[in-house]
Amino acid sequence: MRLFSIVLLLWMPYIAFSQNQSPPKPKLVIGIMVDQLRWDYLYRYADKYGEAGFKRLQKGYNCENTHIPYVPTITGPGHTCVYTGSVPAIHGIIGNEWYDRDSRSVVNCIGDTSYHTIGASSREGQASPNRLLTTTITDELRMASSFHSKVIGIAAKDRAAILPVGHAANAAYFFDGESGRWVSSSYYMDTLPKWVNDFNAKKLPAKYAAGNWNTLLDIKQYTESTPDNEPWERPLRGEEKPIFPHMIAEAVAKDPGALIGTPWGNTMTLDFARAVIDGEQMGKGAYTDFLAISCSSTDLIGHQFGPNSIEAEDGMLRLDHDLGEFLSYLDKTVGAGNYIVFLTADHGVSHSQGFNREHKMPAGSYQGDSLVKISNAFLRQKYGADSLIERYTSMQLYLNYTSIKQHNLNAAAIRHDLSEYLLTIRGMAKVIDLSEVTTTSLPAPYREMLVNGYNQKRSGDIQVVYEPGYMEGFTKGSTHSAVYSYDSHIPLLWYGWGVKSAHDYSQIYMTDIAATLAAMLHIQEPNGCVGKPIAGLMK
């Protein structure tokens, strides 16, 4: 007996060490990105939300003061920053697209003709994460588990499915509007799994659209929104007026992709998420799995009708219901307490120009093509050379260095003169020579957003910063991309395994999400991560 006690005492440190080396982990991590979800949507419609969706998630850890630390605040960079914990200056996804000087063409952030579509004959699957320069938290999970953990991304938008799951994912699935099918890229697979084909065989777009789009509640109850048929709303394709009911059945029959511009695009995405979990048995193995979901329809609805429309409110009420059903499904299949969910957004959205003007708020817009024209006209008059500006994308102008060299001109002088000229245009807050971005005379938070968004190899030469309320294009509907809080203040909700119940009002950034997940899962943070773990979140 004494010998047994001595042996036990000798082994206890090793037992403790072994336990410390194998901390408990959730069976499944669910990341939910809601495209174009303003932070205030959580509260504007709160009286109409049920208890099972947003309100249930808010009973977890609610990061009330979460912001995006870079520009432009748009989809590609937003999804990338959440999962890399990094910024465009490092991870390289500076926009949904950008001008590539070598090929002298605009490139898509995930476009890749080396691959083809799996599951349809369209070009939708000519895509990969190869322009992403860093790892993601999902890549790190795959490597930490010796590639046993399953990682899958899904979204109606291809970039929103591909970028979150990085380079080493098992799969990324996205919706092909041409065929009305969920498809993938040959980057991931040679054929679709049977369960995906079975889901596609249900031909759900037509079924979802069959009842057309009327309001979930009596339209008189939508008092948080402007009246139906405001002049700044854009009708759906085939409609004369942007009013309820929206007769979408015929439009979806002709073009299944039209469904994504209605709340049922999100419904279908969450239905497909169930099929993914069931088909791949996610959360059932010995390793933590990760499903990255992006709900794209809120973005299309906001662009079409603006954030104060009845359509935007109805979309949120229906999404709340769909989230509640999805969480209930997770409870039954993965088990309550076995999964962790975080919900956030890739960006917010500005009020529509017409809405702002009606209420005496500053507003305006500019077209990128017109900025190129007036810039080239100014430079032609001053320097006697044509086409000194090649392109404008994501609020940046690209100089034509070939023409500058041919005419023996000074690029620095051109950047300086053009910046001063454009600043005289109404609605311009700042025009910046990006070679001097670190010293520009902007308030520190805005300057840091510009620095974080600037990638020396991919970005342009001159950055335009519009005044609050001004935007690119969209004289009707609305858009996003600015440094201001309506685009940069986003929700961040955590719920489930290992999560405290609290409201956190401290300054938190989108880039902190990946760092927090790395700490919770006890794995290495992504290799370009600049975020910090949210210390108060974890039990």
Question: pLDDT grade, residue 22 (50/70/90)?
Answer: confident
* CB atoms inside a 10 Å sphere around CB 513: 26
**Coil, strand or helix at 229:** coil
194: tokens are 């049977």
Q: Inform me whether the pLDDT recorded for 343 exceeds 60.
A: yes
Please answer whether residues 289 and 151 qualify as being in contact, where contact means their C-beta atoms are separated by less than 8 angstroms. Answer: yes
Q: Is 166 exposed, middle or buried (0-12, 13-18, 19+ CB in 10 A)?
A: buried
Residues 199 and 446: their CA atoms lie apart, in Å, by 45
Question: pLDDT grade, residue 164 (50/70/90)?
Answer: very high
- Predicted pLDDT at 114: 98
pTM for this one? 0.94
Q: Inform me whether the pLDDT recorded for 2 exceeds 70.
A: no
**Coil, strand or helix at 472:** strand
pLDDT tens, position by position, 410-429? 999 999 999 999 999 999 99
Question: pLDDT grade, residue 474 (50/70/90)?
Answer: confident
Roughly what angle, to the nearest 10 degrees, separates helices 512-521 and 75-84?
Answer: 30
As a whole number, the mean pLDDT across the chain is: 94
- Predicted pLDDT at 528: 98
Q: 470-472 and 492-496: which strand pairing?
A: unpaired
Q: Inform me whether the pLDDT recorded for 10 exceeds 70.
A: no
- Predicted pLDDT at 13: 43
Contacting residues for 359 by C-beta, under 8 A, at least 6 apart: none
Q: Which domains does the chain have, with CATH numbers?
A: 28-352+484-537 (3.40.720.10), 364-468 (3.30.1360.150)
Q: Inform me whether the pLDDT recorded for 279 exceeds 50.
A: yes
Asked if the peptide bond before residue 526 counts as cis, ω within 30 degrees of 0, the response is no
Q: Inform me whether the pLDDT recorded for 5 exceeds 70.
A: no
Residues 418 and 463: their CA atoms lie apart, in Å, by 11
pLDDT tens, position by position, 36-72? 999 999 999 999 999 999 999 999 999 999 999 999 9
Given the residues 75, 117, 134, 135, the one annotated as active site: 75
Give the DSSP H or E segment for 125. Answer: none
- Higher per-residue pLDDT: 430 or 18: 430
- Predicted pLDDT at 366: 82
Contacting residues for 220 by C-beta, under 8 A, at least 6 apart: none
Please answer whether residues 174 and 124 qualify as being in contact, where contact means their C-beta atoms are separated by less than 8 angstroms. Answer: yes
Q: Is 114 exposed, middle or buried (0-12, 13-18, 19+ CB in 10 A)?
A: exposed
What is the pLDDT averaged over residues 148-169?
98
Of the candidates 67, 45, 69, the residue with the CA atom closest to the CA atom of residue 58: 45
Residues 473 and 234: their CA atoms lie apart, in Å, by 13
No. of H helices and E strands in the chain? 20, 21
191 is catalytic: no
pLDDT tens, position by position, 62-115? 999 999 999 999 999 999 999 999 999 999 999 999 999 999 999 999 999 999
- Predicted pLDDT at 6: 41
Q: Chain centroid to CA 244: how far?
A: 28
Q: Chain centroid to CA 529: how far?
A: 17
Buried/exposed 274-308: b ≥16 CB within 10 Å, e otherwise: ebbbebbebbeeebbbbbbbbbbbbbbbbbbbbbb
- Predicted pLDDT at 21: 62
Q: CA 39, 367, 80, 128: dihedral to nearest 10 degrees? A: 140
Lowest-pLDDT range, 17-26, 336-345, 470-479, 482-491? 17-26
Q: Inform me whether the pLDDT recorded for 8 exceeds 50.
A: no
Question: pLDDT grade, residue 23 (50/70/90)?
Answer: confident
